[in-house]
């Protein structure tokens, strides 16, 4: 009974903290201890996820509101074209929503699969300010943490810009030109990439996919749950444009060899040579900015990196 009460109290404290931090808009960076969740989630379980039956039905406007294009006229309903690559739920039907979702001036180009607490996304956002990027995370509490973290960073950047403008006016100088809002180009979704990746992204939409410190699933009977496999690599090839890159990093040598072996065996990928890999600025960020990467650094572990380029489709 005592253990149940302690767990209940902890759960209530987490809920109270999250409610309080959102009351007046998220402005302070969230604290991880109120969003903790077990590290492993079974990707084959029914997590009651919400996902679009087709990428054309995905409404990105709530994630990237600064990039919404004002529609002159409501778009007319149209039927979804058959697409065997996007598995639709049985209840989705064959039609799109009566009106199409709001359009964005840009498309999402970068996906961080299993983004964890969002360290990579937050580091990449100012480095690639003109590129929309999305984190996909299956755990509820961790997804909420990243949502609150992004909102807090946006609020802090907005306040910093307002302070700089006020300071310029007080000094009698011209205010700095308006800059694109920091962290407006990053978003996060709770999703199961192993099941529904083609439901969110069209063929050839992405330029980069990051797979950082994925669950190793050490036991042989669990290898089917690894995020890299012959089947899943075909889905990565589908959503990546030719020339796009899959970035992988892990501290588990066996998993590194597994990922290299499976990508090199796939006809749509070739491994990026090491000199080119090390010259890629995203690799340095991937090594140092993820939470798992920092943990490996503290434990003086070794990080294994491999990049794979999407090849051009052969002429049939």
pLDDT higher than 70, residue 4: no
Question: Is 215 a residue of the active site?
Answer: yes
Task: Identify the weakest region by mean pLDDT among 11-20, 70-79, 211-220.
Answer: 70-79
Residue 137 in tokens:
């995370």
If we measure between CA atoms, which residue out of 210, 236, 52, 221 comes closest to residue 131? 210
Residues annotated as binding site for S-adenosyl-L-methionine?
A: 114, 137-138, 192-193, 212, 290-292
Q: Is 243 left (phi over 0), alpha (psi -120 to 50) or beta?
A: left
Compute CA distances 266 → 6, 205, 232, 263, whole Å: 50, 20, 11, 5
Is the pTM higher than 0.85?
no
Binding residues: 114, 137-138, 192-193, 212, 290-292
Catalytic residue, candidates 215, 254, 280, 313: 215
Q: How far is CA 134 from CA 93, 184, 251, in A?
A: 27, 11, 24
- Residues 92-124 have pLDDT tens digits of 333 444 457 889 999 999 999 999 999 999 999
Please, which pLDDT band fits residue 171 given cuts at 50, 70 and 90? confident
């Amino acid at each position: 009974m005592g253990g149940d009460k302690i767990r209940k109290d902890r759960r209530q404290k987490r809920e109270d903290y999250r409610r309080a931090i959102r009351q007046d808009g998220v402005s302070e960076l969230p604290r991880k201890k109120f969003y903790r969740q077990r590290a492993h989630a079974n990707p084959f379980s029914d997590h009651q996820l919400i996902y679009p039956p087709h990428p054309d039905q995905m409404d990105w406007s709530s994630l990237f509101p600064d990039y919404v294009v004002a529609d002159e006229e409501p778009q007319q309903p149209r039927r979804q074209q058959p697409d065997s690559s996007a598995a639709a739920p049985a209840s989705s039907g064959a039609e799109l929503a009566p009106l199409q979702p709001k359009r964005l001036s840009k498309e999402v180009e970068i996906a961080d699969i299993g983004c964890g607490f969002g360290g990579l996304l937050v580091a990449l956002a100012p480095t690639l300010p003109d590129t929309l990027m999305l984190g996909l995370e299956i755990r509820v509490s961790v997804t909420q943490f990243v949502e609150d973290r992004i909102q807090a960073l946006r609020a802090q950047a907005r306040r910093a810009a307002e302070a700089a403008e006020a300071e310029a006016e007080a000094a009698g100088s011209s205010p700095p030109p308006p800059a694109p809002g920091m962290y407006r180009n990053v978003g996060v979704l709770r999703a199961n990439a192993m099941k529904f990746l083609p439901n969110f992204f069209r063929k050839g939409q992405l330029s980069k996919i990051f797979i950082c410190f994925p669950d190793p699933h050490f036991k042989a009977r669990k290898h089917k749950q690894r995020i890299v496999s012959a089947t899943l690599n075909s889905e990565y090839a589908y959503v990546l444009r030719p020339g796009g890159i899959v970035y992988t990093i892990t501290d588990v040598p066996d998993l590194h060899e597994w990922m290299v072996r499976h990508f090199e065996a796939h006809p749509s990928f070739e491994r990026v040579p090491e000199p080119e890999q090390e010259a890629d600025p995203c690799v340095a960020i991937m090594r140092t900015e993820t939470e798992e990467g920092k943990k490996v650094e503290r434990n003086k572990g070794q990080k294994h990196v491999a990049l794979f380029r999407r090849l051009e489709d052969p002429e049939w």
